[in-house]
Amino acid sequence: MTYKLEGRTAIVTGAGSGIGLATTKRFLEEGAQVVAADLDISAIAELDGTVTAVEVDLRTDGAERMTEAALDMSGQIDAMVCCAGVAPTREGLASTLDEDVKNTFDVNVLGIMRCARAVTPHMVSKGKGSIVAIASDFGRMPEPLFYDYCMSKAAVLSFMKSLSIEFGPQGIRANCVSPGATRTPIWEKPGGFIDLLAKLYGGMDRDKVVDHFAKEHKKFALQRIGEPEEIAEVAVFLSSDRASFVTGSDYWVNGGSIPVY
């Protein structure tokens, strides 16, 4: 499927790896110009297409700087996909400290709010735009190993719904994509979710952890976890005119990890 994004300008946060990098690549394949923003932009330099890498921290002035970069690139902002986030693992309530929760919310929730505040005036002036936030199925089905992450993603779902109500009359669509377990650095990095699961599974070999998690622990309908490209495809679809009547929605892309009733 082609989304006909030639001549469009998109901003992607968290573009240096995982879902954000996959989303950036997909926009470029569709002919869009992309401002790719992250703390680490080294992987973005290797991409082909019209892409501007911007090193940003969404806890400070990152939203304003990447908005300025997009306007310098083309004078317009057609779409934004907010992929930046943190997902620290906890050992339960006792290890979920106030400062840690504040940091998670600063990135996962306030980061998206800052991005929306920065781009909506420019979308309003054009009378059209799309904002997509990467939420999570944990936003509806919490997990004590991720107390603050789950709380933050529930907040993202609420914020984006409010955004869709306020700005829908002005032509701006706001939607979420809620991935299930997806093979990203959050899983694979040392001390990440794979290592945590290996410990929970009694020292299971890392190479067997993901398969056991998908087939035996969570019993996903598709018997596997997702790939970043599978999440990116839905995010880019929602950013295109093919989703012109979709707003205030949350697309679950989780391989059947949560029954939908």
Annotated catalytic residues are 149
SS3 call for 82: strand
Please, is 77 exposed, middle or buried when counting C-beta atoms within 10 Å of its C-beta (0-12, 13-18, 19+)? buried
Strand residue runs (E) in 23-65: 33-38, 51-55
> Distance between the two ends of the chain, CA-based, in angstroms?
29
- The tokens describing 48, both together, are 């082909």
Contact 77, 125 (CB under 8 A): no
The Cα–Cα gap between 93 and 12 comes to: 33
